[in-house]
Each structure stands twice: as C-alpha cells, then as structure tokens.
Structure 1
Amino acid sequence: MSVRPEQRQANPVSSEHSSTSLYEMHRTALVDYANNILRDRARAEDVVQEAWERIQSVERTRIINEPLRYFYRIVQNLALDNRRIRKREAQRSGGTLTDISDKIADDTPKPDAIAAAREEFRIVIESMGELPERTRMALLLHSVEGLKLREIAERLELSVTYTHQLVAKGKMHCLRRLSRKRS
C-alpha cells in the first residue's frame, strides 16, 4: 500500500532538476499510488510519466514549494481523470465523435515563437541522435507515435518498467541539452 502525499515530507527544492530527482527517487511509489487508483499498472506508469512532464513544465515558470506533494497531487488528478474517462468510454455503446474543428481557436504562433521552437526542435533532434538505439526507439514511439508504455514494451519485447526507464532517460537527455541552450 502506498503512502499518501499528506504523509510524506516534502522539502522545498528550487533547483532546475528537482522534478527529475523526485521522479528518480519516488517513481516506484508514485506508480504504486496511481495503480491503487487505476488498478492497471501500465496505465499507472503512463500517468506518472505524464505527471512528471507536467511538473517540469510548471518548474520552468515558477518554484514549487512542496514538489513531492505537488507530484502526488498531479498523479492523483491524472489517475482519477483517466479512471473517469475509462468509465465513460465503457458506458458508451457505438457513439460517434462530434466534429470539434469549429471549437478550436486559432492559436497560430508568432514568428519569434516559431524561430525559437525550430531551434529547440533542432537541439532535440541532435540530442536524440546521441541516444542509444533502443532508448531512441522507445522515446520516438512514446513521444511521436503516441504509444502507451505497455504497447512500446510489447513491440520492443521489454518490460513496461524498463521501457518507462528508457523513455524517461531519453527525455531527461533531451531536456538537459535544451537547458544548456537556455543557459
């Protein structure tokens, strides 16, 4: 049984890589926590991965006072959302998707944002070229093709846990290269 976030001590961490170190130190406990909600270990792995990505995004704009508690909260929210979505999908019977193209706002990026994104994309492509083949493949399948960790593990004939580690290592490598560019 996992410890709830309220029962853990979380120290304020202001370093750029606080979510990465928390992720590495508490990944198993976070996955166990998500699994208690979802009752599906593979989905729990995906939820923890998504939570880590979201925390990294938040860390770019502000310091998180209690990062571990925040990490658990995001995992909990994502797991509950995932469970609700699965429940809704299970209740549907042959429903069709509605056309949402009218509802999508025009959020065309500005030229300077496009230039910055191209530069970041170039760095990510270079950094992916530096990764071992299996890590690069796992990262591409997850980030580009959108496959779940369970599907990648089956395709690469690996465990879900090891696949999760490969994807995380690949993302960390790319993020480190990007952070060097920003410095």
Structure 2
Amino acid sequence: MAYHTVADDKLQLYLAHRPALVDYAAPIVGCRARAEDVVQEAWLRFSGQALEADIRHPASYLYRIVRNLALDHTRRTATEKTQPGSEEILAELPASTASPEHTVSQQNELSAISRALEELPLRTRTAFEMHRLGGYTLQHVATHLDISVSLVHQLVRDALRHCMERLEDDL
C-alpha cells in the first residue's frame, strides 16, 4: 500500500504546470533558458515550504513565486546593464585605504603643522584654530578674542602662511 503525501501533491502540481510556468516566465526574463532557471528556483522555494503550511491555492502560489523571481531577475539584469563592464571598473578603482607611504607622509605633514602652530603667538594660534579647525566664523572669533574681524582675518592668514612655509621647509 503506497502512502500519498503533501510533498507528492506538490511535485505532481509542479510537474503538471512546469511547461506553462516556463511559458509564463519567458517573456518576463526574455529567454527560455533563463525562464527554466527561474522555474527551477521557484520549485525549490515551493517545495521548501513547511508541509503544514496552509496554501489555499497552491497553483496560484507557484505562479506568484515564478512571477516574483522573474521580475527580480529582470531588475537585477537591468541594473547590471546600466553599468557595462562594472566588474572591470571596480577592479581599477584605487583602494579606499591609504597606502603605508601615503599614511606616513600625512603623519609627517600633521607633525610639521603641529610644530608650526606651536611656534605661533597664542592669539594667532587661537584665531587660526577656531576659524580653520573649529569652523567658527571670523565674526565669532573676533568677538571671542575681543578684536576686529579684519585683525582676525590677518591673524588666520599669517598662521596659514607660517604653516605652509614650515611644510615646505620640512618636506
């Protein structure tokens, strides 16, 4: 005596509708071979459903899986076509991390700027740090230091010039 299971019902349903499912997916994905792949993936998803899952219309459910997978495939293909050769482009992009040489160079520049800032008078250094590093407006710095905006501008310019000279000397 052979036992009849829900899994057998699913398989029979799939086999009965398979050609129609391929015909249904082919116009969406644009190729019968890709449609075959979509239908195969749909079967894997459909057969993987829990046996106790209450699917009232299994054939409709299977068609819905095929449709969704076909549309996903079409979207994925369209995205790949918008960037032809994207694999090659990505391979040619520079690394997002700096090379060891570049890192050392940047550290040397920062050290030179730090030493140059230490050589400045306190008011000049404060004006420069507030404006260029702190993002404060010239007006805000002038108010904080109780000096004119034009003097703040001159102090910042002097500090910047001093730092540039030190960078050129050190490098």
TM-score by length of 2: 0.46
TM-score by length of 1: 0.43
Q: Which has the higher contact order (CA 8 A, sep 6+)?
A: 1
Question: Which of the pair is proportionally richer in helix?
Answer: 2
